[in-house]
Amino acid sequence: MIHITFPDGSIKGFEYIPSGMDVAKRISEGLARDCVAMMLDGITVDLNTPITQDAHVRLITTKDKEALEILRHSAAHVMAQAIQHLYEGVKLTIGPVVEDGFYYDIDMPPVSEDEFPKIEDEIKKIIKAKIPFERKVVPKSEALAFYKDEPYKVEMISELEDGNISLYEMGDFTDLCRGPHLPHTGFIKTLKLMKVSGAYWRADQTKAQLQRIYGTAFFSKKELAAYLIFLEEAKKRNHRKIGLALELFSFHDEAPGMPFFHPKGMNIWNSLIAYWQAEHRAAGYVETKTPIMLNRDLWEKSGHWENYRDQMYTTTVDNIEYAIKPMNCPGGMLIYNSKPHSYKDLPLRIAEIGIVHRHELSGVLSGLFRVRSFHQDDAHIFMTPHQIEDEIVGVLELVERIYGTFGLGFHLELSTRPEKSIGTDQQWETVTKGLKSGLAVYGKDYKINEGDGAFYGPKIDMHIKDALGRTWQCGTVQLDMALPERFDLYYVGKDNQKHRPLMIHRVVYGSIERFLGILIEHFAGKFPLWLAPIQVVVLAINDEIVPYANTVKIKLEKAGLRIELDRRTESLNRKVRDAQLNKIPLILTIGEKEREADTLSVRTPGGNVRHGIPHEEFLIRVRKHIRQRNLDPDIFIED
């Protein structure tokens, strides 16, 4: 008798060796139709896996989060099989699941998106055939012999340890894979190819260029339709297009991956920085600035020269090697070490908005989201062990205030000690306990990623959620035991002895360029008044009113508003339409009536027009709105 224990504690007995499918059918035929895999004693396996001894089982259905990844993993195999059917001589590499879908890198002649319908037709045939995914385990030597004509598979298998290799068969198609997979191809209700791009084998420019074909898959056509609508909305919010249309930033071949910010972009940038500085001053931080280029000795001491050299830009000055900084941290260590410290100085919160450079491959550059030159809002907090909890809580509360100002929710993830790490067990226990204690006091739920911390310490990552529900990892809190050791940092304690401080690395915006890109898409370019690159535009009814309209513009400009006067000889309707396309929050229309009464007609973002608004009332409302950093750009929202 084999006993199966379910998550709710119930137990079912089987007088034979059942598979996961047998277990599902024992419960109900409906459940069996929805099951795609199972958790067998904590390991995800195929549904047809035999259960040979008493075990804990959780059946994974199409409603479970894990099911979508299994579906898309299986869909990558189906796409590869279809391509092998249609094109001669293709050589397969890998086909992983990625966010929102999957891709497969294939050595084959260039394929265009015009060919997608043909490939999708073949995919539909494979899905309709309901071909089973069958796992086959063979010795490494047999796998190498099987793939003798597939150089990429041979390369991957050769790197594996000697032993058994798992393959998955789908009729006339076999792929190297650990699994698990769906019971059969019919579970894929809809599969759509999305795009194709070039990719180097193993991201090495000296190796073969492959065709990377992206796709996505869902358990229902309704889910696919919703996803395609989401993509259309995301496309409208593309920060590169909006940035170009609103004249915020640009990129140029003379400096690949290094953004050029235009005057309007700098208006947003300066507003972000001013807000950041105000919040940090209030939280007890001091601001510093360190050089952009430091010599090789420093980077060897920090460990970057050995571990990060390929991503650093270097040069030689007076026969001495230098590197442009990829991180701000080592400079912060030098500032701390510039004078002795007592326990009375701690905690010491040192912040820096520093520009860093990293040599990213050209193929991964992506607007403001992935650049080679960017600013990080770093801070390094030096503290004693018993101060960890308070400092963690302080950082999390600061993050919540700042993200909340932009209407961004977030969730927390704690990553603990990895297999390869530095420091003693006692040190890791102390700092991990400190992080958990801080999170407990903060009082918000968090996810634990066991073994996913940095080699030098555990960390907390903040994942923000934008208006479309997408998540972005921006803020992070990392405890570091390595750099204080490498730079021999110390403070004099109450016992008059030297002690090593603990150190927190943390960012809130992260890369400010990337954060700005996220905000552009979050707001779809319609920034709240305090952030808007141009807050007000003045429109004169006719040329005769322009001189007076200009005096109004100058008056409001002196009051601190970012304002433009549209002097064009276009119709008023055209000017209003252009101002709305440029996403300017407030439109002031001035004619003879407004000039005589010394008032304003104000058009708000919703298209409502308020007439006869005195200048002082307008300024009072605008200043209050900006001071409060109100998310709605309509200054009459409270009325």
* DSSP string covering 411-446: EEEEE---SS--S-HHHHHHHHHHHHHHHHHHT--E
**Phi, psi angles (nearest 5°) of residue 201:** -60, 120
User: Tokens in use for 23?
Assistant: 């277990």
Catalytic residue, candidates 184, 239, 349, 380: 380
**Catalytic residue selected from 35, 177, 329, 474:** 329
Q: Does the active-site annotation cover 35?
A: no
Distance separating alpha carbons of residues 39 and 57, to the nearest angstrom: 6
Could you confirm whether 53 is annotated as catalytic?
A: no
Question: Which is catalytic among the residues 212, 459, 562, 603?
Answer: 459
Q: Confirm whether 459 is a catalytic residue.
A: yes
Lookup: tokens for 426: 């006692």
Catalytic residue from among 153, 184, 239, 358? 358
* 378 is known as an active-site residue: yes
Among the options 81, 84, 211, 376, which is catalytic?
Answer: 376
For 404, phi and psi rounded to 5 degrees?
A: -60, -30
d(CA 522, CA 196): 26
How far apart, in whole angstroms, are the C-alpha atoms of residue 25 and residue 31? 7
CB count within 10 Å of CB 46 equals 23
Measured between alpha carbons, how far is 266 from 243 in angstroms, rounded to an integer? 12
Structural element, H or E, at residue 123: helix 116-128
Contacts of 506 by beta carbon, 8 Å cutoff, 6+ apart: 378, 379, 381, 395, 475, 476, 477, 478
Catalytic residue selected from 377, 378, 461, 480: 378
Using CA atoms in the order 299, 449, 161, 78, what is the torsion angle rounded to 10 degrees?
A: -110
Residue 155, phi-psi category: left (phi > 0), alpha (psi -120 to 50), beta (remainder): alpha
26 residue type, one letter: R
Residues 6+ apart with CB under 8 A from 602: 586, 587, 588, 609, 610, 613, 618, 635, 636
Cα dihedral angle (68, 69, 75, 77), rounded to 10 degrees? -160
Would you say 37 and 44 are in contact if contact means Cβ atoms under 8 Å apart? Answer: yes
Q: Are 101 and 214 in contact (CB under 8 A)?
A: yes
Sort residue 524 into left (φ over 0), alpha (ψ -120 to 50) or beta. Answer: left
Can you tell me whether residue 393 is helix, strand or coil? Answer: helix
User: Cα separation of 509 and 616, whole Å?
Assistant: 35
Distance of CA 426 to the CA centre of its chain: 33
The answer to whether residues 24 and 35 touch, using CB atoms and an 8 Å cutoff, is: yes
What gap in Å lies between CA 500 and CA 493, rounded to an integer? 10
In the DSSP assignment, the letter for residue 457 is: B
Is 474 known to be catalytic?
A: no
Kindly tell me the sign of the dihedral angle through the C-alpha atoms of 178, 183, 184, 186: negative
Q: Is 329 a catalytic residue?
A: yes
435-438 long-range CB contacts below 8 Å, 24 or more apart?
A: 435/388, 435/392, 435/460, 435/477, 435/479, 437/388, 437/389, 437/392, 438/388, 438/389, 438/390, 438/391, 438/392, 438/393, 438/396
Residue 59 phi/psi, 5° resolution? -80, 135
Distance, CA of 116 to CA of 326 (rounded, Å): 41
Catalytic, 358? Answer yes
Distance CA 586, CA 19 (A): 66
Residue 475's nearest CA partner among 524, 426, 412 is 412
Residues acting as catalytic residues: 329, 358, 376, 378, 380, 459, 505
